[in-house]
Amino acid sequence: MSFSSLVQDLSLRDPNAPRRRGDASVSTIDDRASRTSHISRAMSYASTAATSVSISGDISSQLHGGYAHPLARSWQAERQLTKSMLIYPLFVSDNDDEEVLIPSLPNQYRRGINRLVPFLEPLVHKGLRSVILFGVPLKPGTKDALGTAADDPEGPVIRSIRLLRQRFPQLYITVDVCLCEYTSHGHCGILRDDGSLNNQLSVDRISDVALAYAKAGAHCVAPSDMNDGRIRAIKLKLIEEGIVHRVTLMSYAAKFSGCLYGPFRDAADSCPSFGDRKCYQLPPGGRGLARRAIVRDINEGADIIMVKPASQYLDIISDAKELGKDLPVAAYQVSGEFAMIHAAAKAGVFDLKAMAFEATEGILRAGATIIISYFVPEFLDWLST
């Protein structure tokens, strides 16, 4: 007999009915009360079970047990944030002893080369695996129309590459490749007389700078200028130099124009002196254009595809993972994203640590496997605890 049939059978019996004549004894009041209690509990259980199945659906809908424990919750993530995924941006100036706080970028500094090692030592000890270098020439007369100082052997970037390779042999050195910090006009290449970007001359110059950084010892060169064809040009020069086998080429393939770069431009002193960068950085609504740029850079030899900014472009990160399914995908959580999270946390909107993790895990969920973030020093502590 099934459990439900048993309950029904018991419920039909009259607990007050007299025993048959042949019974050895007559039921007592306690006996009847006990039987009534058992029947009531059985009926209640059957009712609850039926209601539960009715509300919750079939067995496959029962999910809570799969993430009831903190460890089980972590297993639900396709990608879990680790220290090896993180790249920390460093702004290195040509003032060797400088260490200046960037007001619009909380807790971030522009440092001279003499300040790098003392700053990085504790971070490397905590598990820092990679940095990305941005040169910031500040000395008068350094900037010109061609960005001549970008590959100066005595400039901040090349000197920093050599220093960090010597002092931290296990640290992976990525270098941003662009001219905006070095040009007098603040644009990301060489300009025509009418002020527009000369793509051919810019690509030739950018690829020379990338090659100089690679020859100085950079593990990875990352052109952020968004000139058409610069990935192919850099790859060819690395091949011709015989070092393509040891240098990673990370493309800012989908870099969007917008208002999230303000604090970075304060840090790098790279704001355009006129106009904007909308004619070579991607328009915010240009998803199809971003997909075309990603495919182009993959075909030109990029080893890693980057999307920038990150949180506002999760669909593009997902597209990059789809289009470059065999390549790592990087995402740059840019200065404006970082500053907004800090500002909202300061205003009491949310907890800083909780939001830093939530934003970053969203980027990972979209498909990124490499995160460039100003939160890296904090993550090194948070991930250790």
Residue 188 marked as a ligand binder: yes
Q: Taking the CB of residue 142, how many other CB atoms lie within 10 A of it? A: 15
Catalytic residue at 143? no
Whole-angstrom distance, CA of residue 284 vs CA of residue 256: 6
How remote is the C-alpha of 305 from its chain's centroid?
13
Q: What share of the chain is helix, strand, coil (3-state, %, to 5)?
A: 50, 15, 35
CB 256 within 8 A of CB 309: yes
The CA distances from residue 168 to 118, 127, 135, 164, in Å, are: 12, 12, 19, 5
- Written as one letter, the residue type at 295 is V
The structure tokens listed for 73 are 């919750």
Q: Is 277 one of the annotated binding-site residues?
A: yes
DSSP codes, 228-254? TTHHHHHHHHHHHHT-GGG-EEEEEEE
Contact 225, 186 (CB under 8 A): no
Q: Which two tokens stand for residue 246?
A: 């040891």
In the chain, the amino acid numbered 80 is: Q
List the catalytic residue out of 126, 143, 237, 255.
Answer: 255
Q: How far apart are CA 158 and CA 153, in angstroms?
A: 6
What type of residue sits at position 166?
Q
Check whether 265 is labelled as a binding-site residue.
Answer: yes
Q: Is 335 a known ligand-binding residue?
A: yes
For the question of residue 255 being annotated catalytic, the response is yes
Give the whole-angstrom CA distance, residue 348 versus residue 204: 49
Residue type, 342: H
Q: Which helix (H) or strand (E) holds 378?
A: helix 376-382
Among 139, 215, 278, 308, the active-site one is: 308
Q: Which residues are annotated as a binding site?
A: 178, 180, 188, 265, 277, 335, 374
> What residue numbers does the annotated binding site for Zn(2+) cover?
178, 180, 188
- Please state the residue numbers annotated as binding site for 5-aminolevulinate: 265, 277, 335, 374
Which are the catalytic amino acids? 255, 308
